[in-house]
Amino acid sequence: MASASLLKSSLVLNKSEFVKGQPLRHPSAVVVRCQPVSTSAFTVRASSYADELVKTAKTVASPGRGILAMDESNATCGKRLASIGLENTEANRQAYRTLLVTAPGLGQYISGAILFEETLYQSTIDGKKMVDVLVEQGIVPGIKVDKGLVPLAGSNNESWCQGLDGLASRSAAYYQQGARFAKWRTVVSIPNGPSALAVKEAAWGLARYAAISQDNGLVPIVEPEILLDGEHGIDRTFEVAQKVWAEVFFYLAENNVMFEGILLKPSMVTPGAESKDKATPEQVAEYTLNLLKRRIPPAVPGIMFLSGGQSEVEATLNLNAMNQAPNPWHVSFSYARALQNTCLKTWGGRPENVKAAQDTLLVRAKANSLAQLGKYTGEGESEDAKKGMFVKGYVY
């Protein structure tokens, strides 16, 4: 169980002060009397899974490893398959996901794999449970639990993430099936505001999901993605990200979420994809680490960045730049396209290409492993790996 003593010395801020950075205001009286405060007011309620949650989070956030995000919905997976001329059938999805999870030695670089519900209950083409194959590789199975984005009424054409209804029972079932962490993705759009309503809705939904996940034994990955869409500069991204993360951590605390048992999946702080100004990896690292230092408590074990449409090489270079000096957290990756893009093209749906595709996946996984350790050089990368993957209005 989380100890109240961990928080006794923490300064308690009013929400508006935490979000807006206003100075604390004291009463105008000459003498300020400090009354003893009950420690129960500071208690973070951890579930009966507290020790396991901490252990799982630390395992995923282990040196030189990161997350393979392979939780694309069936519709999104269909788009990926269509790009190589394959139909969107369960058999084709199974064949591709089998290729990913059975790559020899993948666990040397990958500590966790986020799965779609179909995959969690699926077997490989050889009849072995996908979950069992991952565990044998030393990879922790995770599960996408949100139900996707829908329009947010009353906003500036923004969205909110659905899926809280029935989440507790679904999470319990996912745990029984072998999942040990969860993912919930919501988004914030800079060109559309973001409105205070959209930011608050995103933060509250993430906090409720995180609390429910922990109560059912799953480490929640908290992912408020600030979309790359837009012509804005890096300073505007930084400004919005500060507001979003302040709101997120306020509501995580309000919902008694144990910070030691969560993982974060933020966007890197970059200019908008359509901005005329481009940032170097060193600039991205400086802005992103400054954001993390201002907003993320060191109790959080791991920061697993999303790639968000960056090229495979760009995402790896930016991660490497962030790991040139020690950080309070494990700074790593949770990539989908930035790990899979070249792998998928190499496979092309042909059985004879499976080994070559797996080798390509391992090349990307190793590159990001080195980046997590701050040792990636970028030498010998293919031209395909340098191509950007941003899609305006991308739906995951």
Please tell me whether the peptide bond between 328 and the residue prior to it is cis, using omega within 30 degrees of 0. Answer: no
337-347 vs 90-101: helix crossing angle, rounded to 10? 110
Q: What percent of the chain has pLDDT over 90?
A: 78
User: Given pLDDT bands bounded at 50, 70 and 90, which one contains residue 387?
Assistant: low
CA-nearest of 249, 240, 252, 316 to 284 is: 316
- Looking at residue 393, its pLDDT comes to 54
* pLDDT tens track for 291-338: 999 999 999 999 999 987 788 999 999 999 999 999 999 999 999 989
The three-state secondary structure class of 5 is helix
Indicate if the pLDDT at residue 42 is higher than 90.
no
How much is the mean pLDDT over the chain? Answer: 87
Residue 215 pLDDT: 97
**Cα(296)–Cα(327) distance, integer angstroms:** 12
pLDDT of residue 38: 46
For 176, 309, 312, the CA distances from 205, given in Å and listed in that order, are 24, 24, 30
Residue 153 DSSP label = T
Active site residues: 223, 265
For residue 68, the cross-strand partners are 113, 335
Please tell me the pTM assigned to this model. 0.84
Convert the pLDDT of each residue in 234-285 to its tens digit: 999 999 999 999 999 999 999 999 999 999 999 999 998 889 999 999 999 9
Residue 9 has pLDDT above 80, yes or no: no
Q: How many CB atoms lie within 10 A of CB 81?
A: 20
Axis crossing angle, helix 312-322 with helix 281-295, rounded to the nearest 10? 60
- Percent of the chain's residues with pLDDT above 70: 84
* CA distance to 6, 9, 44, 293, per residue, from 3 (Å): 6, 12, 7, 24
pLDDT at 386: 53
Q: Is the pLDDT of residue 156 over 60?
A: yes
**pLDDT score, position 241:** 95
How confident is the model at residue 385, as a pLDDT?
59
Give me the helices (H) in the chain, please.
15-20, 50-60, 74-82, 90-101, 117-120, 130-136, 167-177, 196-215, 234-254, 281-295, 312-322, 337-347, 354-372
**Residue 37 above 50 pLDDT?**
no
- Residues 229-233: what's their mean pLDDT? 90
Q: Residues 88-140: pLDDT tens digits?
A: 999 999 999 999 999 999 999 999 999 999 999 999 999 999 999 999 999 99
**Contact present, 343 and 361 (Cβ < 8 Å):** yes
Find out whether 263 and 302 touch, Cβ atoms under 8 Å: yes
Local structure of 346: helix, strand or coil: helix
* Euclidean distance between CA atoms 274 and 279, whole angstroms: 12
Tens-digit pLDDT profile for residues 134-145: 999 999 999 999
- 8 Å CB contact between 384 and 345: yes
Cα atoms found within 13 Å of the Cα of residue 258, Cβ hemisphere only: 28
Poorest-confidence range of 47-51, 258-262, 331-335, 368-372? 47-51
Between 86 and 36, the more confident residue is 86
- The pLDDT of 201-227, averaged and rounded, is 96
| pLDDT at residue 340 is higher than 70 | yes
